[in-house]
Structure 1
Amino acid sequence: MSLLPVAEAQTRLLGLADPVTIETVPLSEAAGRWAAEDVIARRSQPTADLSAMDGYAIRFADMPGPWRVIGQSAAGAGFTGAAGRCEAVRIFTGAPLPAGTDAILIQEEATHDSDQLVLSGEGPAAAGQHVRRAGGDFEDGARLLEAGARLTPARIALAAIGGHGALAVRRRVKVALISTGDELVPPGAATQGVQLPSSNAVMLAALLGDLPVDIIEGGIVADRLDALANAFDAARHADVIVTTGGASVGDHDLVRPALESAGAKLDFWKIAMKPGKPLMAGKLGSSIALGLPGNPVSAFATAVLFLRPLVARLGGAGDPLPTVHSATLETDLPGTAGRAEYLRGIWTKGTVRPATSQDSAALVALASANTLILRPPHTAPARAGDIVEILPLT
């Protein structure tokens, strides 16, 4: 089977995923979700002309004054009367403009003595100065957010000011994490001989930590077909079943035959990328099975490019793929062969340099990196000062 280009593999993986079901949650629980429906304003903002400054509401045609102060307008307690010729109303930020006024004389440019108001600065330059017009932010019925928009803190505030107390979102995505390998022991456990602490599951759980997921701990599974079959059976209620390790072609790489034995239909296997070639994807019942490599760096890179976008797609994201940026290369890089390369890099103030080690099992270099440098296949050597594509990790 030929190696599948990364972009084609991403498209095929996302094609396996239909967004999960919709639920309505309070705004306090909506952070990080994706809107399942367009969010439509239920009110205008502001609902009336409001003052943007502390000062005095006046009629611009009466400039340069003086004026007689006839009352006060505060936020939530507006002036109920109307201002006539050369009359002013003391006003505070966020308060509605009284009838008959159309500009704000800010308090720093005015002198108020008894009920007399005198211009002491330049004053407003035109009608509408320092006024927030009714509907100036949005009007009732406007589309505030599109379906598929990530609900950031600012967007949640926008929904709230638009009249919403709850929003329709996709439910949390259930992700089962299964680590395979006879050599693995739980993190923190003592190791003997060539045993290794299991790092992939905790790494992947952290990598998904900002997404709306429920992690199902599948534990460490021995390199036996029956053990893997039992693990897959136990995880069938998950939306995504993720394995790390056992996805290559060695005698102990049993994930693929175990999935096929369990009835999975594999869509693709082996990707034209480095690190991370032995990656597989398919369906196991209603679940999506995603087999990642066992080496930690390979697992990390493939999770950034495939697992996170898959979870985002299931969660209802309109644009689930990571955003590519550009940076100026600080050092020379060799050319590439037939696979896209994702180099761990350090990105600082618009420039990027590769980490000291690119070994797929070297976690010190991964821990120091804050970006992946993308090198397409069959690319000529790059020189310091060239522009390269990067995938930021923070």
Structure 2
Amino acid sequence: MLSIEEAQQRILGGVDVLDDELVPIGEARARVLAEELRATLSQPPEDNSAMDGFAVVWPDVQAVHHGGSAVTVSVVDIIGAGGRPAKALVAGEAARIMTGAPIPEGADLVVMQEWASWSSDKSQVTIERSGPDGDNIRRAGEDVRQGEVLVEQGAVLTAADVGLAAAQGCSSLRCGRRPEVAILATGDEVHEPGEPLPEGHIYSGNSVALAGLVEEAGGVPRPLGIARDDPDSLREALERSRGADALVTVGGVSVGDFDHVKDVVAGLGAELEFWKVAMRPGKPNAFGSLFGSPWFGLPGNPVSCMVSFLQYVRPALLAMQGASSLFLTTVDAVLEEAVGSREGFLFLLRGIVEPDWTSGGYRVRTTGPQGSGILRSMAQANCLIVVPEEVSHLDAGQRVRVQLLPGPRPAQVASGLR
């Protein structure tokens, strides 16, 4: 039986990076950048004011800065953002200046308007307090210098990234194409939400959850509905997955009498890489290729299904888009309770990780019962607690590795800023 890492290596060795495409800048957030973004412009392009106030010459206000008496200088120019200085300043002169306006030649600093008083005719200003030489001036290129790499190739673009690109004048960015992912649920007992539910049957929560996970990973879900537990229904549904960049099936990969998925995909020409992994939840996991695209056979229990997606399908979808970071972020945390597992399997327990303001680290606890059918444990969790294969018990107070789940975190009542 493969370890998680071995399974991940086989999967990533079997996926190719898709073509890239130009994406309008307003639609590029959360897309994977296909080529590094370099600055074509310095930001700011020239020295400008960080305050509304008065641009002055340092020798005129040096004594004021060191506690001396106020000085009065002549106002010879008014410069707004987007405007241009009318003249260079000399000793005894000031320019009224707005935030973002270019610094006139000869000016050494900007005194904020709260530290100055106009004369009645506004021809002069009295400087009552002053900062040091260079105060309140944003220097050319202090944010970005022309030629700098702003965002690395393979980055998943954030709102700040696309804002940075837009500030460089980019109307579009070249990004990896979003993979189309066909999703097929299986089972005689499974029904679409909203349908009448016979006794003993269930609704297909897995398909909806997987569609959301596909979108979070940058993909485009293509729901194929539900195939019944017979080879003909499976075969017809699988044929409809042709053309997708990846196929995810749910259920039918275990050893039950009605688990037909492996046999049917094999009959359609699939190449099977593996179908068991030493992981709990999620031991029955299949991977191969069908119709020229990666196929992931996930277990039907809802927790096993979602955990397996996060370990195997999510990294593959990100790799298809050319992402440089493929796996869930991990941190170390201190267990608040003892946990048990079974040696020989890596366990991923649903947990809630929180900052420990006393130690400066993290603490973590389980969500409660850890059965693979308890979907609520995934809804409550913000992490997966990693229990290694070689241990069967961990005590409260021991340090563990946790994977942070994508998406919103549990609500924080206080801001946590102080």
Q: TM-score, normalised by structure 2?
A: 0.90
- Residue aligned with 1:276, SS: coil
Q: Is this contact kept in 2: 1:36–1:316, CA < 8 A?
A: yes
Q: Is this contact kept in 2: 1:223–1:252, CA < 8 A?
A: yes
For 2:257, the equivalent position in structure 1 comes to 251
For 2:171, the equivalent position in structure 1 comes to 165
Post-superposition CA distance 1:320-360 (Å, at most 9, x none): 11111222211111254101001111223332111221111
Q: Structure 1 residue 279: deviation in Å? A: 0.5
Q: Structure 1 residue 248: deviation in Å? A: 1.1
Q: Is this contact kept in 2: 1:336–1:375, CA < 8 A?
A: no
- Residues 1:220 and 2:232 are matched in the alignment: no
Alignment-mate amino acid for residue 222 of structure 2: I
Q: Structure 1 residue 380: deviation in Å? A: 5.4
Q: RMSD across aligned C-alpha pairs, in angstroms?
A: 1.5
Query: 1:134 and 1:209 mapped to 2: Cα distance?
Result: 40
Comparing 358-367 with 147-156, greater Cα deviation is found at 358-367
Matches within 5 A, 1:32-181: 32-63=30-61, 64=63, 65-113=71-119, 114-121=122-129, 123-126=130-133, 128-181=134-187
Q: Structure 1 residue 38: deviation in Å? A: 0.8
* Identity across matched positions, percent: 39
Post-superposition CA distance 1:89-144 (Å, at most 9, x none): 011111110111121111122222232222212x1212x21111111111222211
Matches within 5 A, 1:224-243: 224-243=230-249
Q: Is this contact kept in 1: 2:181–2:214, CA < 8 A?
A: no
Unaligned segments of structure 1, at least 5 residues: none
Q: Structure 1 residue 169: deviation in Å? A: 0.6
Alignment-mate amino acid for residue 365 of structure 2: R
For 2:415, the equivalent position in structure 1 comes to none
Q: 1:381 aligns with which of 384, 393, 396?
A: 393
Query: 2:308 and 2:243 mapped to 1: Cα distance?
Result: 23
Q: Is this contact kept in 1: 2:214–2:220, CA < 8 A?
A: no
- Residue aligned with 1:351, SS: strand
For 2:327, the equivalent position in structure 1 comes to 321
Query: 2:263 and 2:240 mapped to 1: Cα distance?
Result: 17
Query: 1:103 and 1:41 mapped to 2: Cα distance?
Result: 27
Query: 1:331 and 1:212 mapped to 2: Cα distance?
Result: 35
Query: 2:306 and 2:111 mapped to 1: Cα distance?
Result: 59
Give the total of aligned pairs: 390
Query: 1:293 and 1:223 mapped to 2: Cα distance?
Result: 14
Alignment-mate amino acid for residue 118 of structure 1: T
Comparing 61-70 with 213-222, greater Cα deviation is found at 61-70
Post-superposition CA distance 1:359-387 (Å, at most 9, x none): 11112333222221111111253222222
Query: 1:227 and 1:183 mapped to 2: Cα distance?
Result: 14
Query: 2:354 and 2:7 mapped to 1: Cα distance?
Result: 30
For 1:17, the equivalent position in structure 2 comes to 15
Q: Is this contact kept in 2: 1:41–1:163, CA < 8 A?
A: no
Alignment-mate amino acid for residue 89 of structure 1: A
Q: Is this contact kept in 2: 1:72–1:78, CA < 8 A?
A: no
Query: 1:41 and 1:392 mapped to 2: Cα distance?
Result: 33
For 2:383, the equivalent position in structure 1 comes to 371
Query: 2:291 and 2:192 mapped to 1: Cα distance?
Result: 29
Q: Structure 1 residue 49: deviation in Å? A: 0.3
Q: TM-score, normalised by structure 1?
A: 0.95
Q: Is this contact kept in 1: 2:77–2:86, CA < 8 A?
A: no
Query: 2:332 and 2:60 mapped to 1: Cα distance?
Result: 56
- Residue aligned with 2:101, SS: coil
- Residue aligned with 2:339, SS: coil
Unaligned segments of structure 2, at least 5 residues: 64-70, 356-361, 408-418
Identify if the C-alpha distance between structure 1 residues 73 and 233 changes in structure 2 by more than 3 Å, giving closer, same or farther: same
Q: Is this contact kept in 1: 2:349–2:370, CA < 8 A?
A: yes
Query: 2:102 and 2:60 mapped to 1: Cα distance?
Result: 20
Post-superposition CA distance 1:283-335 (Å, at most 9, x none): 12321100000000100110111122211111221111111122221111125
